[in-house]
Amino acid sequence: MTTPPMAPADTALLSEPGEAQVPAGEEDRRPWWRTALSRTVPIVGALAGIAVVWYAVSYLVLPPNQRFLLPPPHEVYGEMFGNARLMGPMTAALGRTFGVTVFGLVIAVVVGIAYAVVMSQWRYAERVLYPYAVILQTIPILALVPLIGIWLGYGFPARVVVCVIIAVFPMIANTLFGLQSATAAAHDLLTLNKATRWQRLWKLQFPAAVPSIFTGLRNAAGLAVIGAIVGDYFFQQGAVGIGGLLRVYTERLQLDALLIAVSLTALFGVLVFTVFAVLDRAIVGRWYGHVGR
Amino acid sequence: MIPLTSASTDRPDVDSADTASTLVLDKVTKRFPTGTVALTDVSLSLGPGDFVTVVGPSGCGKSTLLRLASGLEKLTSGRIDVSAASTSYVFQDATLLEWRSAARNVELVGELRGESKAERKRRAQEALDLVGLSGFESQHPRQLSGGMRMRVSLARALVAEPELALFDEPFGALDEITRLVMQTELQKLFRLKRFAGLFITHSVSEAVYLSTKVLVMSGRPGRIVGEIPVPWGYPRSPDLRHTAEFAALTGRVSHTLGEHS
């Protein structure tokens, strides 16, 4: 048998990796104002479209004696800046609703994550606990609201509870999904390295769940706004929230004020959602080391 | 008829019968609760300096063999003895934690063992240097190519200072060029570290190129039908693959595989 060729006895063990590396965050760079413009134009366009339809309905569809049903935009929003007697209470109410939203969201996040963690640790716990989360989600909130009022009164705590009930489910569902998203091989890796339950949770399951938790947070934030408004729509005791004002304006047939309040709540919802969407992108992007997705 | 085994003449350094065995499987059988018999009567033993590859058709229970050896699965009957102080397992997929940089992925092993931060950082750096990833420590898995991800996975296996290293078709998902490079590098690492290696593959040339001994498995239920020693020492040149001796040996392995499928 002849001696087969041997590699030179090199001490420098391995060659340079010969594979191309994907450069991080290397996208085509446009000037910032072009980016800003391309983002704003569709939004402004859509708003203009709404204004056109609105004017058309006010002036072309409604006869003058029924125009109070939908006053034209400039009359409605003119009130917004001119009428301090209207806007003072409205901004104060919005502030209170904001308080309920934040408080409810924080509780929903903490409770939702904790609930999901408990379910992820014991199969039995998931079987016992998950149905309740689903039931909470499927019972119409309107059926629960009177009960909550009777039990907890009609003030701040009851509003927060309504907010939590509406917002908690996406937190639970998304966190649980994330905690269970680690691959079987990754679990094997930890098993082979004799990881404790606690290490498995903190070094594998929880980090794997971070992107899903942010998805849950984004959805929960939107729902928390709705929950807070529904809460103060029904519970009118004490200082009134924006939902409470919606009801008052409806009862008094103050359509211009009503439209302003609706616009404000919409703006508020969009704002909260945007904050969490931006947070989501920033943090989850960094989580995976900045790769263009 | 080509004999299954041949006397290995020029390998005085390694003889698994004489060295204390790191891993022994004795008449191991695995039957799953569904009734499927994955392995029957598998016996093998390997010690330091042995690099045994197991080659067989897909679904023949090769991976089950590794899962049994590592303790991830319980065996149905037979006996498995592992005397290694530390065992590493390299998965089919690189199995990196996506949110950790290359260095932090390698450090994971030290973290789970409760090593100090300085210690595990130093050892992770050593391992990454060894697999040729110096300069890529802070890259996340998504920023690395498939071959580089597998290098991180190898570094994570090396950082445990394994006496026994189990490889579950680690290069199966790589492209051919990367695969050949990784084979060359793995045998260099083996020469340096001298762990007992058990490597599963369905590539005959990979099996021959890497190992001191090739075990051929048949499918359903999996059993060992051939044992072919590989005579060459380490390191092995990539050009070894183009020699007549290499072709003869891969021919024998393929023939044995063909006879039992």
Q: Do B237 and A6 touch (CB under 8 A)?
A: yes
Widest pairwise Cα distance in chain B: 59
Q: Do A192 and B10 touch (CB under 8 A)?
A: no
Predicted pLDDT of residue A143: 87
- Ranges of chain B with pLDDT below 50: 1-18
How far B248 CA sits from the closest chain A CA (Å)?
Answer: 12
Predicted pLDDT of residue B8: 38
Predicted pLDDT of residue A282: 86
Question: Percent of chain A, pLDDT > 90?
Answer: 46
Q: At what angle do helices A242-252 and A206-234 cross, to 10 degrees?
A: 30
Tell me if A6 is assigned to some domain: no
**Residues B62-95 pLDDT 10s:** 889 999 999 999 999 999 999 999 999 999 999 9
> Do both A135 and A178 map to the same domain?
yes
Distance CA A108, CA A103 (A): 9
Predicted pLDDT of residue B26: 92
Q: Do A17 and B147 touch (CB under 8 A)?
A: yes
Q: Nearest Cα to A182, choosing from A210, A161, A154, A209?
A: A209
* CATH code (residue B243): 3.40.50.300
Task: Using CA coordinates, name the residue in chain A closest to B73.
Answer: A188
Tell me if A5 is assigned to some domain: no
Domain total for chain B? 1
Side by side, the strands of the sheet bearing B37-46 are B37-46, B23-31, B77-82
Q: Which domain holds residue B171?
A: 23-82+164-259
Q: Are A97 and A271 in contact (CB under 8 A)?
A: no
Give me the mean pLDDT over the A141-146 stretch.
86
Burial class (CB in 10 A: 0-12, 13-18, 19+), B93: middle
Predicted pLDDT of residue A291: 52
Tell me if A264 is assigned to some domain: yes
Residues paired with B42 in a beta bridge: B28
Q: Which domain holds residue A110?
A: 82-287
Task: Using CA coordinates, name the residue in chain B closest to A4.
Answer: B240
Nearest by CB: A14 against B131, B233, B238: B131
> Do both A61 and A89 map to the same domain?
no
User: Would you call A288 an interface residue with chain B, using a CB distance cutoff of 8 Å?
Assistant: yes
Q: Do B95 and A185 touch (CB under 8 A)?
A: yes
Give me the mean pLDDT over the A166-181 stretch.
95
> Do both A189 and A276 map to the same domain?
yes
Predicted pLDDT of residue A20: 42
Tell me if B18 is assigned to some domain: no
Q: Which of the four pLDDT bands, split at 50, 70 and 90, describes residue A37?
A: confident
Q: Which of the four pLDDT bands, split at 50, 70 and 90, describes residue A24?
A: very low
Q: Is the pLDDT of residue A21 over 60?
A: no
Mutate which: A19, A26, A201, vs B, most B CBs within 10 A: A19
> Which of A50-64, A255-269, A278-292 has the lowest average pLDDT?
A278-292
What is the SS3 assignment for B197? Answer: strand
Distance CA B261, CA B218 (A): 6
Give me the mean pLDDT over the A183-205 stretch.
95
Alpha carbons within 13 A on the beta-carbon side of A194: 7
How far B211 CA sits from the closest chain A CA (Å)?
Answer: 15
Q: Give chain A positions within 8 Å (CB) of B10.
A: 1
Give me the mean pLDDT over the A251-257 stretch.
89
Task: Using CA coordinates, name the residue in chain B closest to A293.
Answer: B142
Q: Is the pLDDT of residue A141 over 90?
A: no
Tell me if B4 is assigned to some domain: no
Burial class (CB in 10 A: 0-12, 13-18, 19+), A237: middle
Q: Kindly provide the b/e burial profile for residues A121-146, where b requires at least 16 CB atoms within 10 angstroms of the residue's own CB.
A: beeeebeebbeebeebeeeebeeebe
Predicted pLDDT of residue A6: 43
Domain total for chain A? 2
> Which of A14-18, A45-49, A197-201, A248-252 has the lowest average pLDDT?
A14-18
Say if the ipTM goes beyond 0.90: no
Task: Using CA coordinates, name the residue in chain A closest to B129.
Answer: A14
